[in-house]
Amino acid sequence: MSISQDERFAFDVAGYLHLRAALTPDEVATLSGWVTEAEKTVVADLNADYPDGMKQQLNRPVSRMFDADPRFACLLDHPVVVPYLTEFLGPGYRHIDNDLYYTYPGYAGGRWHRGVSAHPTGHVVEGKFICPMVKVFYCLSDVGRDEGEFVVIPGSHKAAFKVDYDGRVDLPAQRLFDDVKAGDIILFNEALIHNGRPNPSQKTRKTLIVNFGRADAGVWKGYRPKSATLAAITPNQRTILSNANPEFWKEPQLSTQTNLPPKALSDAQVAQYHRDGYVVVPNLIGPDTAIEWKQKLQQRLADEGLLGNIPSGVRVWMSDDMDSYSAAQLQSSSVLQILHQLIGPNVEFLSFKAVFKNAKTTFNSPWHQDWAYWGGSPKLSIWIALDDATPENGCLQLVPGSHHAAIEMKEVEDGKGFVRRITEDQVAGMPIATVPVPRGAGIFFHDLALHASCPNVNGQDRWSVIPTYRDAAQQDSSTVWPTALVLSGSSVNV
């Protein structure tokens, strides 16, 4: 399901959408019942795991409503809002914060503000939205004039001029939501200037608020979910609520020139992947990130007793055993954008492995196709260099175009690993590409792409990380992965 062209136009121009009667009367009644129970929450007890987080919360009456009652997690992927969030934030959107929010009788009104900076194009570039933050109001009360209405300045998400709004109740061109009914949903770009008006009435405006960000968004301080909450909700809700970025929310620096990050592929690169079975992205991660990632993996492997005098090794981690630093890199928006170009909008992460060769490793990794080890539907892996990879220290070699069919493998036991492999005689005469890459580069390759690595003969370390993904829209008969993590879209394998 996708949003209409009229809705796309309206959100671009105004910065918000008012979806009337989006919730059914039964849904409103159910949510209202949960709200009545949640009102009894002792906020201090709810935040006993992180008391300092309360400084960042509203608690009018309860912030962290998902932790107060995990049933509210249905608001993370409500079928009405999913198409809009996917359109405005991109596949793999994540949670930032959530509140059960009341505008009580006698409320004096809030202050005008925006959650992120205005953008010259209103977060639309080359026909695509690149919003960093979108907030959703699930309205549980009718709201009329002078009943604590929500108010926005339409178009202010792209405003070129500033307006003095300190201490002001009304602003030019404002739009009052004084025609709201219980069951309405309001979505808005957080770059929009907005406020809550005074409530001189005797009515309490009740709203369930969920704030969303892009795939690489961090959670707002004080809103990281409890492990018990994550265990109680659906896998898809758990993905949205489990931010891949381990840091707290920071506003990203967005380009005004392209809807994709600078690392996204050109049409020629996409064509190369489908023609040759691989494509190189020179700066997938920064060199400093590569160095830090290597250090963190070395520490984890040392803690597991897998380093020391071992000349080479491979350590595989499944999707449910990732450290937070690796998770942030492997699910970043840059990686996801490229995966969407190569395998489509439905992406599952399967596993990743650290591959390390030190100065004592002089043998090469034999020729093989990864598919022979797991079978099933096609997969895509990324060979990410954490050191400069050269022909002298063991860079990757590939046979362009070899991904179109499986090749008969031989069973060989010689201590070099890869017991299912293709012999040098089989490779003889094939076009071999030796692919040196700098630290931070990524080689995206098909699991049928025939590849090997050069021997390490110059006495330098060569570390790499290799995550594996699949098109979640294709049924996979492989039994290698007991778990998988849906990064975007939906999966037929869950």
Q: Please state the domain extents for the chain.
A: 5-241, 267-488
Query: Contact, 356 vs 312, CB < 8 A?
Result: yes
- Cα–Cα distance, 47 to 43 (Å, whole number): 6
pLDDT score for 281: 93
pLDDT score for 397: 93
Q: What is the DSSP string of 15-77?
A: SEEEETT-S-HHHHHHHHHHHHHHTT--HHHHTTT-GGGGGG---SEEE-HHHH-GGGGGGTS
Statement: 5-241 belongs to CATH 2.40.10.500? no
pLDDT score for 262: 46
- Cα–Cα distance, 449 to 453 (Å, whole number): 13
pLDDT score for 409: 77
Residue 25: which residues within 8 A CB-CB, separation 6 or more?
Answer: 183
Query: Contact, 380 vs 442, CB < 8 A?
Result: no
- Cα–Cα distance, 84 to 17 (Å, whole number): 10
Question: Architecture of 267-488 per CATH?
Answer: Sandwich (2.60)
Instruction: Identify the CA nearest to 312 among candidates 176, 428, 461, 191.
Output: 461
Full-model pTM: 0.60
Query: Contact, 180 vs 143, CB < 8 A?
Result: yes
pLDDT score for 360: 59
Look over the chain and give the mean of its residue pLDDT values, rounded to a whole number: 89
- Cα–Cα distance, 41 to 57 (Å, whole number): 15
Domain 5-241 identical in fold to domain 267-488:
yes
Q: Which residues of the chain have pLDDT under 70?
A: 1, 253-263, 308-312, 358-364, 412-420, 494
pLDDT score for 173: 95
pLDDT score for 414: 59
pLDDT digits (tens, 9 = 90+) for 178-202: 999 999 999 999 999 999 999 999 9
* Side-chain half-sphere exposure of 375, counting CA atoms within 13 A: 4
Q: Which residues pair with 176 in a beta bridge?
A: 151
Query: Contact, 217 vs 101, CB < 8 A?
Result: no
Helix (H) or strand (E) holding 433: strand 433-435
Residue 271: which residues within 8 A CB-CB, separation 6 or more?
Answer: none
For 156-181, give one letter per residue: b (16+ CB within 10 A) or e. Answer: bbbbeeeeebeeeeebeebbbbeebe
pLDDT score for 312: 59
pLDDT digits (tens, 9 = 90+) for 239-294: 899 987 778 998 886 655 433 444 478 888 999 999 999 999 988 998 888 999 99
Residue 411: which residues within 8 A CB-CB, separation 6 or more?
Answer: 419, 420
